[in-house]
Amino acid sequence: MKLTSEEKKMAEGKYGNAVKKSMEILIALGEIYGAEKLVDVTSVQIAGVSYDNLGDAGLDYLDELAKDGKVRVLTTLNPAGMDLENYKALGIPEDFAVKQKKVIEAFAKMGVVTTCTCTPYLVGNDPHFNEHIAWSESSAVAYANSVLGARTNREGGPSALASALTGKTPLYGMQLDEAREAKVKVKVKCKLDGTHEFGALGKAIGEKVKAKPTLIVGIKEATVDELKSFSASIATYGGAAIFHMKGITPGKTKTPKEEIVITREDIDKAIKEMNMDGEIDFISVGCPHASLAEIAKLAELLKGKKVKKEFWITTARPTKRIADQVGYSKIIEDAGAKFAADTCCVVAPIKGRFKCLATDSAKGCYYAYSKNQSKIKIMPVKKLVEEACK
């Protein structure tokens, strides 16, 4: 890989140990994937923030880099293992909390903006069309490539951190036009409504075409919340890093020859597969993290009611702060639902606490079942609130 003289100095250790180690990671990655050179990035999002995933070895690695490492571009984090302010009410053990705080402190020492969210694009880490970036969280990667039109591979936690500390990423894969071209056309022949149905669409397409980039036609409109649900789902069930939705997303692509059709039966089948027998004891909204619009809707639905089941709304702390300011949080909390800010029910250590999760998120269903061995049910948000109040 060709390096500039500045990049050579970085690799030789002239800018300290953290930069040197980071360059080793980026050069190794670039060589594996045949990148000709590094490019500058403008934004980073780092996954692998939960102490549940990192363990002590991960924490030691972060402490080592934090001795002399400082981020060079705007960098935010993926959800942590707990809400740093509200973890006691959410039943997170104190020994876990101590370790999780140390993880966040190490990132803060490096200059990372320690808001922990899978929707960085809703809280100011919002790159625009064609910018090279290095993001890790799969739903955010699909959203960034497809809806924002920025360019990112699906980075691992260490490679994203390496990009943050150097401001560079190897030029390969989703950073280049070729890999972004659609390989399969998907004709959607039914009307979709709501985050749960867009999640079901992502499952139906993902399972059929796997990670191939798609050109999706036939969808007349989609909200930001529906697109984030779809991005999460197509990345989870298929591994896709990009899709093109005709008339809705900004990128250009040729029309592929291979074509599949998605009908109402496919959506209903996907929804049926995410509805298991079981008595709901946990309800969660906000996978990917809830937007202000979703929180406003929840406040409207929960006004004057009382929930009778554990009910979490997972969101980014800055979004929660606005919800506090305009009064949505009070309505929601008066109804007995709880905010879990900067965390989510997949990365939080809650395995075994609940038997059956109800959510509007297809991605949430996948991980609740596969990681936490919980039964699952998917339904629209309005129905979730009705279930919660039964």
Tell me how far, at minimum, the Cβ of 359 lies from ligand F3S, in Å: 9
Closer CB to ligand F3S, 313 or 331, in the complex: 313
Q: Which of 74, 118, 165, 201 binds ligand F3S (CB under 6 A)?
A: 118
Q: Which of 232, 267, 331, 356 binds ligand F3S (CB under 6 A)?
A: 232
Q: Which of 125, 139, 195, 229 binds ligand F3S (CB under 6 A)?
A: 139
Q: Which of 299, 346, 362, 379 binds ligand F3S (CB under 6 A)?
A: 346
Tell me how far, at minimum, the Cβ of 24 lies from ligand F3S, in Å: 28
Only one of the segments 105-113, 160-168, 287-295, 316-324 lies at the binding site for ligand F3S (rule: CB under 6 A); that segment is 287-295
Closer CB to ligand F3S, 118 or 298, in the complex: 118
Cis peptide before 127 (omega within 30 of 0): no
Is 363 one of the binding residues for ligand F3S (CB under 6 A)?
Answer: yes
The C-alpha angle with vertex 285 and arms to 45 and 275, in degrees rounded to 5, equals 115
Only one of the segments 2-10, 89-97, 177-185, 363-371 lies at the binding site for ligand F3S (rule: CB under 6 A); that segment is 363-371
- Beta strands 43-46; 74-77: pairing state: parallel
Show the binding pattern over residues 72-101: x = contacts ligand F3S (CB under 6 A), - = does not. Answer: ------xx----------------------
Neighbours of 98 (CB within 10 A): 10
Tell the residue number behind the tokens 């030789």, with chain if given: 12
E runs forming strands in the chain: 38-40, 43-46, 74-77, 113-116, 134-135, 168-170, 184-188, 214-217, 243-245, 259-262, 282-290, 310-315, 338-341, 356-359, 375-378
- The SS3 call for residue 66 is helix
Closer CB to ligand F3S, 182 or 344, in the complex: 344
Is 69:19 a contact under the CB 8 Å cutoff?
Answer: yes
CA dist 163 and 185 (Å) reads 33
Tell me how far, at minimum, the Cβ of 19 lies from ligand F3S, in Å: 28
Closer CB to ligand F3S, 72 or 363, in the complex: 363
Nearest to 283 by CA among 336, 236, 232, 223: 336
Site residues (CB under 6 A) for ligand F3S? 78-79, 118, 137, 139, 232, 287-289, 314, 344, 346-347, 363-364, 367
